[in-house]
Amino acid sequence: MFGFFCLNSVIYFFITFFPSYLVTERGFSLLKLGFFGAIPGLFAVLSGWAGGLLADRAIRRGVSVTRVRKTVIVGGLAGGSVIMFAAVVPDAWMALTLLSISYGSLTVAGTGIWSLPADVAPSSKHVGSLGGVQNFASNFAGIITPIVVGVLVDATGSFVVPLLVIGVIALVGAVNYLVIMGKIEPLKLVGSASAGTSGS
């Protein structure tokens, strides 16, 4: 839940403030915004598709689910953290490249995160509930991130500090999945054995 919150903290920048960043910070016209602003999103779609495909192939070849998921999620969040450098590079094309890498990496991480409920569910009946709980927590980022970014932009007059903050949050999410998340395997139902004998 916490790690997915970190992922969405960065993704919600792209959903909310990304166009404003290109216009106010990088001087994009509406025409340039419409054309070049689509590049990170298109790259993210292709990256997410490729990341999921390669992860599935690795698991089918016998690589452990834990190794595959951690590689995809931790690597994706670490790659997403490069958003912090987009605010300080001198040229707009450099910023757009870093933003594309960031968004693409985050979608790769998202494929792993969204696979976790099915990986750890005790049965198929629990997948939707686990996914819902995970998503509920992550979408608090949709409330908090736009407010924090807006306040920091108003306070500092630029996107440097907000992008640094959400870049660090991506790294915190990576550490969360690397260190706190253990072996990825189906959870055991608490009290399932006693529940089976209580009716007899």
DSSP code of 23?
I
Predicted pLDDT of residue 199: 45
191: left (phi over 0), alpha (psi -120 to 50) or beta: left
Distance CA 83, CA 40 (A): 12
Predicted pLDDT of residue 191: 67
Backbone angles phi, psi at 63, to 5 degrees: -70, 140
Written as tens digits, the pLDDT of the chain (200 aa) is 999 999 999 999 999 999 999 999 998 888 888 889 899 999 999 999 999 999 999 999 999 999 999 999 999 999 999 999 998 999 999 999 999 999 999 999 999 999 999 999 998 888 998 999 999 988 999 999 999 999 999 999 999 999 999 999 999 999 999 999 989 999 888 765 444 444 43
- Taking each helix axis as running N to C, give the angle between helix 92-120 and helix 38-60, from 0 to 180 degrees, rounded to the nearest 10: 40
The pair of structure tokens assigned to 13 is: 């920048």
Predicted pLDDT of residue 200: 39
Predicted pLDDT of residue 104: 97
| Predicted TM-score of the model (pTM) | 0.89
The pair of structure tokens assigned to 99 is: 């933003």
Residue 66 neighbours by CB under 8 Å, 6+ apart: 183, 184, 185
Distance CA 129, CA 66 (A): 21
DSSP code of 158?
S
Buried b / exposed e along 29-46 (16+ C-beta atoms within 10 A): eeeebeeebeebeebbee
Backbone angles phi, psi at 127, to 5 degrees: -60, -50
Predicted pLDDT of residue 52: 95
Distance CA 187, CA 97 (A): 40
Domains (ranges, CATH) in the chain? 2-186 (1.20.1250.20)
**In whole angstroms, how far apart are CA 133 and each of 9, 87, 121, 128?**
17, 33, 12, 9
Burial tier of 136 (Cβ tally within 10 Å: 0-12, 13-18, 19+)? exposed
